[in-house]
A and B are shown apart, each in its own frame.
Chain A
Amino acid sequence: KAGVTQTPRYLIKTRGQQVTLSCSPISGHRSVSWYQQTPGQGLQFLFEYFSETQRNKGNFPGRFSGRQFSNSRSEMNVSTLELGDSALYLCASSLPQGTTNEKLFFGSGTQLSVL
């Protein structure tokens, strides 16, 4: 069974640009979450989707947005990039029940560098 797939693996952008990251969950998983990982702030929750509905959102500015498609694939978008957005963005999926007691399966992440 294929794991969580995130594309692209690496991305370099300049300030002011926008970026879209993609996540394909494990087949059958309907919950997808996104996390930002930085050396200074650690792992911070961005948002979670289940059946195309956002159920929770972290404390990030409105420049960070996401969506989930009917096939459970998810994208997150960051507009007007800032230097501080440089981070590893991790996607995770979980089983159909979608409760957080379920085991989260993480992808390898997209490393975003903003110059």
Chain B
Amino acid sequence: GDSVTQMEGPVTLSEEAFLTINCTYTATGYPSLFWYVQYPGEGLQLLLKATKADDKGSNKGFEATYRKETTSFHLEKGSVQVSDSAVYFCALSDINDYKLSFGAGTTVTVRA
């Protein structure tokens, strides 16, 4: 079945550092790929998405490119802020599957 593997955490960074979280997937079809973020005490929020190969999703300075050849969707941000401290989840969904398959989540802490 479909599955997502993402980089183990936790990750601790200093402000303005470069962040990358690796995500690879296994899917039988042509899935859509997502990054969701969960801030402390809150539900998940969609950060960005990509629906086909070579698409780049971007939001709030975060970017991820759908790489079909490497089955990857790595999340990057060039300069993190303390407010980026959260848990980040990579996820995929096959069309008409009506569900998301999530990675284990990566906890990111940014220190001032």
**Are A43 and B102 also in contact (CB < 8 A) when A100-B32, A101-B51, A101-B95 are?**
yes
Residue among B43, B49, B94 with the most chain A CB within 10 A?
B43
Report the separation of the CA atoms of residues A107 and B46 in the bound assembly, to the nearest whole angstrom. 12
| Distance (whole angstroms) from the CB of B92 to the closest CB of chain A | 9
Q: Is the CB of B46 within 8 A of A103?
A: yes
* Interfacial residues of chain B within 65-98, with CB under 8 A of chain A in the complex: 89, 93-98
Q: Is the CB of B98 within 8 A of A50?
A: yes
Q: How many A-B contacts at CB < 8 Å in the complex?
A: 63
> How many B residues, CB 8 Å from partner?
24
Option from B43, B93, B105 in Cβ contact (under 8 Å) with A42: B105
Option from B41, B43, B46, B97 in Cβ contact (under 8 Å) with A56: B97
